[in-house]
Structure 1
Amino acid sequence: MRPVRVALVSLSLACLCLAACSPRYNWREASDNGAHFVVLLPAKPASVTRPVDLDGPKVEMSMTAAEVDGLTFAAGTAELPDAASANRTLDAMRTALLNNIGGQVQSGAAWPGKTEGFARTVDLDARGVSRGRPLRLAARLVARERRVYQILIVGDEKAFTEENIETFFSSFKPS
């Protein structure tokens, strides 16, 4: 009888420990307010839409983001006045992201996930410093017709994992 009691106590303690733990990454499907994309985010997302100047066209950009462990996971989109400005817009987005972290592009990045169906895809892996804090930026910028998308992870390099990169970038699906 004693071994059974020890086993029950051990099982109860294990269940309590598991119940006390909460997953740091609670992946859930999210989209922008206009449902132009869906993506998995690791926590409850927040969304914002604001006007931005993308080196010429001033457009409304919607961003949906979540933060976990010092990393921000974000996806955003904007509709351009015409498809001809998409290349210039992606270049402006790339420059702005690098400037935000005082970043330097590392080796040629190729993030997971589907890229067919886009007119242009730009993958970035950059390191920089913002407010005295070293940061890493993993980003994918894409254009499809008049719509551009920005999918990124930014934060403490030590918090990046291959699993999080794979889950996040692979989950992105434009509508």
Structure 2
Amino acid sequence: MRPMARFFHRFSILSAGIACALLLLACSPKFDWREVHDSGIPFSILLPAKPTTSARQIDLDGLPVTMTMTAAEAGDVLFAVGSAEMPDPAAAERALVAMKTALTRNIGGSIRRELASSPGAVPATLDIEAVGAPRNGEQPRLLVARFVAVGKRVYQLVVVGQEKSVPREAVDTFLTSFKPA
């Protein structure tokens, strides 16, 4: 083989190898889904990365409660499930609206879509999609949340990130995987 032909042959093999490596990197999973159970709170859910858990006192519909939050980030998108115990089932159902209001306010957002379960449904649910105003030249923030009341316990399932960064399939996987125990 002539030197120039050999160079182009090697270059094409090297280029193909680099292209394959880049393709494999692009296909590597951004979401490493794992089932998570909280030891003290009855639920299971799929999260896209290794989660962290924290608890803090909050005011929920005028009542001081301890909210436990388990969250994981995948890229720039946060997936979180929070839970608190209310004094009674009626307070738990009222808390759904309070959680919706607080989270929407946190992103400076407005609700784009809202769907509540039928009155008396067990569990009581409230689904929302809200968009926050862009900050510092960023894209608008998207909040997709499901609020659930089961007996005295309330849950908030939250996905938040820049609107174009939130994959709908990942939101669906997260929300549909939730199982209160």
Q: TM-score range by the shorter chain?
A: 0.7 to 0.9
Instruction: Give the alignment partner of residue 24 of structure 1, picking from 14, 24, 30.
Output: 30
Identity of aligned residues (%): 48
Question: Counterpart of 1:26 in structure 2: which amino acid?
Answer: D
Q: Deviations over 1:21-61 (max 9, x none)?
A: 64211111113341421111111111111111102221111
Name the aligned partner's letter for residue 64 of structure 2. Answer: K
Q: By how many angstroms is 1:81 displaced? A: 1.4
Residue 166 of structure 2 is matched in structure 1 by 160
Report the CA distance shift for 1:121/1:16 in structure 2 as closer, same or farther (over 3 A): closer
How far off its partner does 1:109 sit? 5.0
Question: Which sections of structure 1, spanning at least 5 residues, go unmatched?
Answer: 1-8, 111-115
Larger Rg: 2
State the 1:19 CA deviation: 7.3
Alignment match of 2:64 (pick from 46, 53, 58): 58
Which residue of the partner structure matches residue 122 of structure 1? 126
Structure 1: how far apart are the matches of 2:122 and 2:33?
26
Superposition pairs of residues 12-161 of structure 1, within 5 angstroms: 13=17, 14=20, 18=24, 22-108=28-114, 117-118=122-123, 120-129=124-133, 131-132=135-136, 133=138, 134-161=140-167
User: CA 1:16/1:149 → structure 2, altered by over 3 Å: closer, same or farther?
Assistant: same
Query: How far apart, CA to CA, are the structure 1 residues paired with 2:26 and 2:93?
Result: 49
Query: Secondary structure of 1:106's match?
Result: strand
Alignment TM-score, normalising by the size of structure 1:
0.81
Secondary structure of the 2:94 match is helix
The question of whether the paired residues in 2 share the 8 Å contact of 1:36 and 1:77 is answered with no
State the number of aligned residues: 160
| Distance in 2 between residues matched to 1:88 and 1:49, nearest whole Å | 21
- The code of the aligned residue for 1:117 comes to V
Structure 2 stretches lacking a partner, 5+ long: 1-12
Which piece of structure 1 moves more, 46-55 or 79-88? 79-88
Contact preservation (8 Å) 1:105, 1:125: yes
For 1:95 and 1:34, the matched residues in 2 are separated by: 27
Q: 1:102–1:17: structure 2 CA closer, same or farther, 3 Å change rule?
A: closer
- Higher deviation after alignment, 131-140 or 146-155: 131-140
Per-residue CA distance 1:113-164 (angstroms, 9 max, x = gap) = xxx730x211000001375442000000011110000001001111122211
Structure 2: distance between partners of 1:129 and 1:36: 35
TM-score, normalised to structure 2, is 0.78
Cα pair 1:102 1:130 within 8 Å, conserved: no
Counterpart secondary structure, 1:94: helix
